[in-house]
Amino acid sequence: MSKGNKTLVTEFVLTGLTERPWLEVLLFLVFLVIYLTTMVGNLGLTALIWKDAHLHTPMYLFLGGLAFADACTSTSVTPRMLVNFLDKTAMISLAECITQFYFFASSATTECFLLVVMAYDRYVAICNPLLYPVVMSNRLCTRLISMAYAIGFIHPLVHVSLLLRLTFCRSNIIHYFYCEILQLFKISCNDPSINALMIFVFAAFIQISTLMTIVISYTRVLFDILKKKSEKGRSKAFSTCSAHLLSVSLYYGTLIFMYVRPASGLAEDQDKIYSLFYTIIIPLLNPFIYSLRNKEVIGALRRVAKK
């Protein structure tokens, strides 16, 4: 499609993780195994929590919501990346590109807010255990999960609407493994300053506000744990919170370095590594982080296996 003496681009080529052909088959196999493991781990955990009545408590309902969001994050990116490993000439249309960004941003936003409500759940459970059954009812839990997903669905619409004002004429090559929005700005023939500013503002607000809420919650939890006289009580509380803190550290660390930093902060290859963490690696690790040392989840898995 032409406009004046410019050719507007409506299809793009994703260069992927590497331009070395001999690595592509190996990477395809590695990421295929990672994706299948991610799906089995997250969807299996979601189904297990849904099926086992013993896990119908706020903590596990939140975990089920998080596992489903992780599955969505991985699915928004990995299948297309696998196709590109085998077919470098495969084109992705602008509509597909925007759709991929929307679903990634939606699940990532949802995960930020789910991590907040999980931190609040642990704060109430440890600091106010007698009030916990009253404060954190299953009904409130369902509402909080619904709100997290609603915010996740609405937030990316702001960036998609702004993205539609841009046209692309500089190149049709995106030097990335998915349609990352900052990479689209680089090949825009319009000034994307407003778009970039809105990405920074929303990312900073969502990531920093949710992270600070989590930090405050866990600071209160830590002080309360240290006051406990029972060694067994301290050990159980630390065990419960350590998994969540590990997940939060990995997730927010990479997201903040990617979206809340100076534009010239990192080289392109470093950007890809950070993106790999929050799009593929963390969704793979979360089911194991939350489940391997969790006696209730392992017990539920054994009950299902026996049936």
Token pair 């937030």 is at which residue?
155
Indicate the fold that domain 2-306 takes in CATH: Rhopdopsin 7-helix transmembrane proteins (1.20.1070)
**pLDDT (mean) for 194-219:** 91
Query: Among candidates 103, 37, 104, 38, which has minimal Cα distance to 67?
Result: 38
**Structural contact between residues 44 and 38, judged by C-beta atoms closer than 8 angstroms:** no
SS3 219: helix
Mean pLDDT of 290-294: 75
Distance of CA 282 to the CA centre of its chain: 8
Three-class SS state of 194: helix
Q: For residue 114, what pLDDT band results from cuts at 50, 70 and 90?
A: very high
End-to-end CA distance of the chain: 60
Distance CA 124, CA 217 (A): 9
CA torsion 121-63-200-193 (nearest 10°) is -150
Rounded CA-CA distance 286/289 in Å is 5
> What tens digit of pLDDT does each residue of 229-262 get?
566 666 666 766 777 788 888 888 888 877 776 5
Write down the pLDDT at residue 5.
47
Name the more confident of 19 and 116. Answer: 116
Report whether pLDDT(189) > 50.
yes
Asked if the model's pLDDT at residue 268 lies above 80, the reply is no
Do 200 and 208 touch, CB atoms closer than 8 A? Answer: no
| Predicted confidence band of residue 194 (pLDDT cuts 50, 70, 90) | very high
Chain centroid, CA 101 distance in Å: 12
Tokens matching residue 276 = 């790999």
d(CA 261, CA 280): 21
For the record, the structure tokens of 270 come out as 């470093």
Higher-confidence residue of 297 and 159: namely 159
